[in-house]
């Protein structure tokens, strides 16, 4: 039913058909446009996907670089925090010391009271000393990690120089007096020397000598370990040398013929008296900068002018 008062208008048939034709044309146009739009959108989506992939790859590279930067910053921040923490501790200790100095002392002390006060101060120092040792150990381990790539590269390069370590050891001013011609021949088979230091739970210095095939012994690696303290290197462990039968008698003779400190006695007898001297030279001097001993300085001849470049002998 139509509401009362509403008007009805009948559209003529021709005009209605015209409208329908226009509608169908418009619908066709819309459909065509929709198809073109769909194709365009598909191309755009494909291009967008390719762009997204390249953008994701670029973002991935940027993320890696950013992560590296962040890690570098974290390390720097960590170092700064450690330094700041240590500096803060130092400042607090200095403030405490100044505060104690500002307080008037009790006056002259008896020997007994002085010893009691000394004991109290020493007790206060113990945790401070322990913290300082830990901080130093952390810093040393960090520096060792930073040095390792260069040490590995140095070792690889040295293996390309025949007889490098034999020359280095023989040219050292202190070691040269402890080496015989036979020792030099034995050392000519040494291809590498490595030194490792461990701080925990004890300070340990490990010396590793690497050899190629030789007529003296079968070992490819000989390891000598020393416990290190403030005053000395103390023998801890050594690899037993597996002498060839043809040389075993000669090795025994050499060990017992000369009882003085020399390289062979250190090499063959880990507990030989004074062997810690050779271990200390290897760990503290030769290992740190062997190149300085690879060449010997040749003294200038009389009547010749010396230039900035020194003459060297191998």
Position 298 pLDDT exceeds 60: no
Mean pLDDT of the residues in the chain: 73
Rounded CA-CA distance 262/285 in Å is 18
Greatest Cα pair distance in the chain: 140
Q: By three-state DSSP, how is residue 312 classified?
A: strand
Q: Tens of pLDDT along 217-270?
A: 999 999 999 988 877 788 888 999 999 999 999 998 988 887 788 899 899 887
Determine the pLDDT at residue 20. 44
* Residue that is last in its domain, among 38, 73, 89: 89
- Contact between 214 and 186 (Cβ < 8 Å): yes
Position 125 pLDDT exceeds 70: yes
- Contact between 168 and 158 (Cβ < 8 Å): no
Whether the ω angle into residue 201 lies within 30 degrees of 0, i.e. cis, is: yes
In a domain, 172, yes or no: yes
Determine the pLDDT at residue 46. 54
Rounded CA-CA distance 216/41 in Å is 81
Rounded CA-CA distance 166/185 in Å is 8
Confidence band for 86, pLDDT divided at 50, 70 and 90: low
Number of domains into which the chain is organized: 3
Same domain, 272 and 185: yes
Determine the pLDDT at residue 11. 45
Position 152 pLDDT exceeds 50: yes
Same domain, 79 and 174: no
261, exposed or middle or buried, with CB in 10 Å at 0-12, 13-18, 19+?
middle
In a domain, 249, yes or no: yes
In a domain, 82, yes or no: yes
Q: Which of 299, 301, 302 is nearest to 310 (CA)?
A: 299
Same domain, 230 and 250: yes
Q: Tens of pLDDT along 96-114?
A: 666 566 555 556 788 888 8
How many Cβ atoms sit within 10 Å of the Cβ of residue 204? 16
Same domain, 196 and 131: no
Determine the pLDDT at residue 269. 84
Supply the range of the domain harboring residue 246.
162-297
Determine the pLDDT at residue 98. 65
Same domain, 139 and 264: no
Q: Tens of pLDDT along 22-54?
A: 445 444 433 444 444 444 444 544 555 455 455
Determine the pLDDT at residue 138. 81
CA torsion 14→19→23→26, rounded to 10°?
A: 110
Determine the pLDDT at residue 213. 96
What is the pLDDT averaged over residues 169-184? 92
Which of residues 191 and 20 earns the better pLDDT score? 191
């Amino acid at each position: 039913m139509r509401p009362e008062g509403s008007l009805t208008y009948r559209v003529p048939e021709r005009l209605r058909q015209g409208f329908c034709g226009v509608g169908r044309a418009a619908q066709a146009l819309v459909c065509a446009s929709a198809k073109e739009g769909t194709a365009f959108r598909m191309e755009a989506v494909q291009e967008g996907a390719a762009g997204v992939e390249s953008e994701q790859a670029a973002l991935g590279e940027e993320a890696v670089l950013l992560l590296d930067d962040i890690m570098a910053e974290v390390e720097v921040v960590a170092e700064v925090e450690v330094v700041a923490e240590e500096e803060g501790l130092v400042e607090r200790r200095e403030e405490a010391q100044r505060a104690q100095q500002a307080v008037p002392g009790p006056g002259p002390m008896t020997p007994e009271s002085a010893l009691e006060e000394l004991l109290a101060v020493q007790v206060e120092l113990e945790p401070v000393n322990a913290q300082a040792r830990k901080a130093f150990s952390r810093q040393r381990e960090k520096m060792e990690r930073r040095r390792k790539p260069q040490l590995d590269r140095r070792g690889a390069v040295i293996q390309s120089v025949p007889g490098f370590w034999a020359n280095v050891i023989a040219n050292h001013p202190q070691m040269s007096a402890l080496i015989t011609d036979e020792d030099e021949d034995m050392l000519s088979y040494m291809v590498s020397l490595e030194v490792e230091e461990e701080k925990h739970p004890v300070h340990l210095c490990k010396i590793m000598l690497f050899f190629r095939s030789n007529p003296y012994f079968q070992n490819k690696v000989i390891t000598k370990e020393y416990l290190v303290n403030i005053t000395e290197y103390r023998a801890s462990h050594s690899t037993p040398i597996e002498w060839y039968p043809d040389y075993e008698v000669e090795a025994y003779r050499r060990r017992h013929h000369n009882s003085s400190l020399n390289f062979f006695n250190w090499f063959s007898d880990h507990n030989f008296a004074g062997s810690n001297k050779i271990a200390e030279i290897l760990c503290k001097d030769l290992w740190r900068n062997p190149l300085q001993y690879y060449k010997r300085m040749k003294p200038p001849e009389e009547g010749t002018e010396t230039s900035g470049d020194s003459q060297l002998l191998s």
